Structure formats: structure tokens, C-alpha cells
Amino acid sequence: MRWTLWIVLGLFPLIDGHPTLKTDQNSLETADAALNHQNGSLNSVLHLDDTEKAALETTRNDPAFPMKELNTSHYPATRAAKVAQHYLNYHHGSPFKWFMVHAVKKASSEDIPEVGKKYHIQFSVQEQATKEIVGNCTAEILFRHTEVQSAPEVNCTCDDLLKIKTSDADHALYHHIKHQPEPMTGMDIPDSHGNIPKEMEPFWYLGGIGASFIMWQQSNESTLYNMAHVHSVKQLNSENDLLAFEYVVLLHDMVSQEIIHWHMQVAWNPTQGVKVTQCHLLPKGTLKQPSAEKHKI
Amino acid sequence: MYSRDQVLRIAAKDVEQITLLKDLEELEHLELDFWKGPTHPDFPTDVHVPFASLQAVKVFLESNNIQYSIMIEDLQSMVEEEKIQISRSRSTEQMRNTNSFDYASYHTLDEIYSWMDMLVSEQSNLVSKIHIGSTFENHPIYVLKFSTGGTKRPAIWIDTGIHSREWVTQASGIWMAKKLATDYGKDAIITSILNEMDIFIEIVTNPDGFYFTHTQNRMWRKTRSTNSGSSCVGVDPNRNWDVGFGGAGASSNPCSETYRGSHANSESEVKSIVDFVKSHGNFKAFISIHSYSQMLLYPYGYTKTPVADQQELHNLAKKATDALSTLYGTSYRYGNIIDTIYQSSGCTIDWTYNQGIKYSYTFELRDTGRYGFILPANQIIPTAQETWLAVKTIMEHTYNNPY
């Protein structure tokens, strides 16, 4: 079996199917350009051909590299599920559709020598606007053990994902925005007390979906990201039928407890979904931090 | 919503101009909102003009020689200022007693300290306030003591807000203190417990940090002590305890959110509790409350070695989280710190457990990341209510299992 593995490994460097943070975390050039995903289904980002897939299949059942059952309450399963959530949101989210992990039902992992660790999880997600629970999601998440951060590779399917229909709301919002005389802007979403004006909610969701791309790209086995705050959002001019927005978002990493600031440009329309077209990390201290009251206590 | 909208005060000089203003009123597409309609040249006309219509309206007025002035330059900022005024006056009103206090909103340090004094004065037979120390910036650190008498009775400790940005915790602490005071004499379990044990609640465990989250940075976590040799401020008070100090699970970098401090108990916020607990000597349960993630954790965080009481603590955690979920269906994970969330050294309940306080738990309250630290105020009471069920479960078990 070993020689098959070496061939597969030898072929890995040739695979380049997704946007990566190859050098440092500071920018993602044409972030989504290389990302190949098909509407309606979530395909593996590994882009292996059939021989390569078969080789990887064999290693999975090889007793030399056993599958380890994971405790679903413990953090390895939690972190892997969060990555799947980010991936799901980026591919299926909208200003009216945002998923959070609801429960991890089953999890296991396998070491892939010289490559990394692959997690297999069964989990449910809850859509935040409708509160609907999508019960049957499965995902494979491969964390490569590389020297610099590389995005985990995710393969994820959920039964009944498409039962949550937001296209009416999406289209209504799209037309509403298109017909405003002035480009929209917003700040501090939510405010310090957790309030979000009703008309800002879709932009909060949109920020969350865009941020999901960044969080997915930035994740590894030692991170657990959530979007903590939308510092600002500003609509940009767009020539085509995509709406474009410039966001500054605050992300919270549970493991390091750090709050990091990212600037991103997000493009959206109801049929094409959400795309992050540009993003970069802002140095600490760039922003005036959000504060509760403008007056002194 | 009203961004850049203006309110104009128009001084029509004669009936003709009034007629022109009435014509203006008819133009629906301008979406004008007349606060004082055009009636008579003796009286001003006030109109809220949406930003999009401003130019058209001003051109109309100017070309017809109608005098006007800008009464409100930006309606949005006025609305915001007003909201602040309303909430300020509401909060000073509510300082009348702890029954009219707004538990469903977030309060400032001053408001919480005033509320504490009110509770003590209303129920001085049960509640007293103890000054256990001072912060780096010299804010007093207070603990509420709930006691029906005795001397150094076996005691239960609850703290909230050790990490200042976790606002739902201080808010829940206030609610739980009020609940405790209210339920003595009414709830059988609480009454039994308080008849034989004391309960201590420290609501604002990190006052400097809390003040900073109100005035400068809503996301501030640590204390506000200065670090020599660094421009970065603050120590993580949940990495500053004397257990596994210096080991993996905390940072040695002052700029890090998990900076352990120059030495254990370097932070007065931590040292005050350490001194208090040690001199008391009879604590039986210690509950430290954080947010967010929805977890109930027991020691250890600094090592994988299980605590001797692992089985009992695990079972009790299950019981407590089951109780919590009965109210609103909120689901919690539970387990030891190092396996459930991450390795952390120098954390509170590792120290308290090693002091012999068996029932040492850390909560991570709502939510799981949607709002995170900025949990909407309308979730304060539901969070406090469900958490109280879990806390009661732990307290009851402590009461029923003396050691």
C-alpha cells in the first residue's frame, strides 16, 4: 500500500484548485477567483482525478492509519464543525440565510502521514433567520500540516439544505438597494448592547457570510473563529449586476482570544450568491475601537 | 435611518408663501414630514426633509424667496443623542429601588455599584457588601454576602465579569443576586441552603476592564494594569492564578489576550479573591462565570491529568446542564477545561480546586458565536434564568454533600 501513497503524495503539489494564503496572512489576491464551486452542490476542493481519489480511499481503510472516534463535546470535533459551518455559509449563505452549528452528532479523525489530519463529522445546523434546523449534514475536513497557514479542504453535504428558500427576500432586498438614490452605509453592527436596526440585519448577515470566507481560509486545528462585530459597511459603485460592499469586520478567535480586524470587499446578487473579491488583515490598533456610549460615565 | 436628513424651520412672510408651502406639502414623492404644517405667516412651518429631497426643497424655497433656517442639521445624530438621554434619565429614575431596576439592559459600573447599595439597604438582614480590595486604577472591588447568620459558615462563591467584555455575565450576576435575595423565604432549596451556608457574589470582578469596555473598547478582556517594558496594557485575570503558572496554556507576551502576568497573583483583582478565599477557609463551591460558548467546565485546564473527583463533577455537570436546558432548550456542552475548550494554565478553578474547593466550575454562557460577546440585552434575563437553574443544581448538590 505504501507505494500508492507515495504516488498520491507526489501528485499533491500539482493540485491547485483553491485560493490560498500561501505566503502570509496579509492578503488574499482575487480571493475567490480560483475557487471552483458549482451551484447547488458542494464539491470537494481537492480536485483529485479518479486515480488519486482511489489512492486516498485505500489509505482510509488501511489499519496502519486508523480512524479515531472523537468525543463530540471536545474541541477537536467542535473546531472541525465550525470550519464546515464557515464553508457552508460561504457557499449557501445570503443576507437572509446564515447557519450556525447546532449539534455535532458523530465525529472521527484520521492522520494522513506527511499530509495532515482529516476529520469526518455528522452534524446539524440551524439557520438563524428562520430558526430552521437542517439535521443531516456530513463533512470531511482536511487540515494540512503546512508551515504556513493553508485553508482547510472541505467536502460538505446537507440533506434538505435547499428547503430554506430565501430567494423572494433576496430579490426584494436587491431591488430595494438598487433603487436607493444614495449608496448605503452602516457602522457598529451590532451596537455595544447587541442592538441591530431591522434594516441593517441583512447587511449584518452579508458581512457574516463574507467573513465566513475569511474564517474558513484562516482556520486550522488551533483556531475557532466567529465574527464578533461589523465595524463598518459601505456600498461601492458597481458597473455590473452585482452589488458591491466594503466591510471592516472584527473576528474573534476563541483559542487565542484575539480580536482581529479584516477589511473585505463583498459582491452579491441573489442568483450568484456571495463572493469575497478582496480582503486583507488590518494591523492591530488601526481602528478606533467600538465603545458603548459616546458620553463619559 | 435618518442619516443626513434635516429639519427646516420655514418663515413664510405672507399668505402667498403659505400657499406655496401648501403646494409643496402636496408633492408626495418628496416624502416630506411636516412637524408644524403651513398655516399662517405668524407661525413657523417645521418640516423634516429626507436627504434625497433636500436640494429640491431648498431650491424651491430660495427661488421663491422664502426664508428658512436649518433647525436640525442631521436628524440621525439627534435621534441617537436623544436615545442616550432617554436611557440616562431612565436609569437615574430606576435607581429608586431594586424592583424597578431594568434587569433587561446593560448597565455602567456606577449604576451597578448604586444598585448594590440599594439591595443591601433594602435587605440588610440578608445582604451585606464587603470591600475585598482595589483594582489597579483604584476602583473598589466589592462582594455581596448573603447570610442568615453564623460565623464562617460553609460557603458558595459566584463571580461574574472577570473578563470585562463578557457583558451578559455581569448582567446575569445582578439578576441572580436579586433572585437570591427575593427567593430566600420563598424557594425551599434556596431557603435551606441559606439557613446553613453563606453565598458570596462578586458581580464586577474586573472593574477597570469593565469601565474600559464602556468608554473605549467594547472588546477589552484583560485588566488594565501597565506592563513594564511594554506599551501593551493588561493581564488576563484567568491566567494569573497560582496553578501551572508559566506552563503551556497562557502567553508570556504582554500584548496577548492571554498574557499571564509577570508572576502569579500579580493582579490585585486576582489577589483580592485569593486572600479572601484563603482567610475565609470554608468555601465548598466556587463558580466562575464567563461567556460565550455555552459550556459548563470543571478542572483541570493546565493538565490532562483528571481531577480525583472527575466522575462526580462530570455527573453533576450533566445534571446542571440538563436543568438549564429545561427552560428554553439551550444546549450546553460540558467536560474538563483542557479537553472541552483548550489548554489554559493559571486559571481560576484549577486554583480553587487545588485549594480543596471540590465543586469548582466555570460557565461559558450564551451564545455560540452568532452575537458572541455582544449579546442583545433582550437575552439577559432568559440567560440569567436558565443559568440560575444550573447554579442552583450545583448549590443544592454542594449543600446535600458536605465534606
Phi and psi of B379, rounded to 5°? -100, 0
pLDDT at A226: 98
pLDDT of B320 above 60: yes
With a cut of 50, which residues of chain A have pLDDT below it? 1-30, 33-48, 51-52, 54-56, 58-60, 292-297
Chain B residues close to A182, C-beta within 8 Å: 51-52
**Residue of B91, B84, B66 lying closest to B15 (CA atoms):** B66
Mean pLDDT check: name the lowest of B38-52, B213-227, B321-335: B38-52
The CA distance from A230 to A251, in Å, is: 9
Nearest CA-CA distance, residue B44 and chain A, Å: 30
Where in chain A are the domains? 2-282
Residue B56, pLDDT score:
86
Give Cα separations from A14 to A7, A10, A53, A104, A148 (angstroms): 12, 8, 14, 34, 18
**Which chain A residue has its CA at the smallest distance from B214's CA?**
A292
SS3 of chain A: helix, strand, coil, percent, to 5: 25, 35, 40
How far apart, in Å, are the Cα atoms of A200 and each of A228, A251, B253, B322?
16, 19, 38, 36
User: Which pLDDT band, with edges at 50, 70 and 90, does B96 fall under?
Assistant: confident
- Smallest CA–CA separation between B76 and chain A, in Å? 12
Local confidence band at B88 (pLDDT 50, 70, 90 cut-offs):
low
> B3 and A291: CB-CB below 8 Å?
no
Please give the pLDDT value at position B25. 87
What does the pLDDT average to over B162-190? 98
Distance from CA of B109 to the nearest CA of A (A): 9
What is residue A11's predicted lDDT score, i.e. its pLDDT?
44
Count chain A–chain B contacts defined by CB atoms under 8 A. Answer: 116
> Which residue in chain A is spatially nearest to B375 when comparing CA positions?
A194
Instruction: Report the gap between the CA of B63 and the closest CA in chain A (Å).
Output: 24
ipTM: 0.81
* Nearest to B175, CA basis, from B95, B102, B96: B102
Q: What are the chain B neighbours of A295 within 8 Å (beta carbons)?
A: 84
pLDDT band (50, 70, 90) for residue B311: very high
Label residue B59 by pLDDT band (50, 70, 90): confident
Of residues A74, A100, A293, nearest to B339 (C-beta)? A74
Enumerate the active-site residues of B: 364
Residues of B in contact with A291 (CB under 8 A): 213-218
Question: Closest chain B residue to A289 measured between Cα atoms?
Answer: B217
Task: Using pLDDT thresholds of 50, 70 and 90, give the confidence band for residue B2.
Answer: confident
Give pLDDT, residue A1. Answer: 46
C-alpha–C-alpha distance, residues A53 and A72, integer Å: 28
Residues 6+ apart with CB under 8 A from B210: B109, B161, B164, B170, B204
Return the ∠ at Cα A99 (arms to A95 and A101), rounded to 5°: 165
What would the mean pLDDT of B179-187 be, rounded to a whole number? 98
Which of A79, A258, A291, A296 should one mutate to test binding to chain B, selecting the residue with the greatest count of B CBs within 10 A? Answer: A291
Q: What is the mean pLDDT of residues B23-31?
A: 86
CA separation for the pair B311, B316 (Å, rounded)? 9
Contact B376 A190 (CB under 8 A): yes
For residue B342, the distance in angstroms to the closest alpha carbon of chain A comes to: 7
Indicate the pTM of the whole model. Answer: 0.80
Predicted pLDDT at A269: 96
Question: Smallest Cβ distance to B334: which of A73, A258, A295?
Answer: A73
- Under an 8 A CB cutoff, do B51 and A199 touch? no
Q: What is the mean pLDDT of residues B268-275?
A: 98
Strand order of the β-sheet with B127-134 is B127-134, B140-146, B198-202, B155-160, B283-291, B359-365, B295-298, B333-336
A2-282: CATH topology is Nuclear Transport Factor 2; Chain: A, (3.10.450)
C-beta atoms of A257 and B257 within 8 A: yes
Q: Average pLDDT, whole number, for chain B?
A: 94
User: Count of alpha carbons within 13 Å of A189, Cβ hemisphere only?
Assistant: 23
> A212 contacts in B (CB within 8 Å)?
none
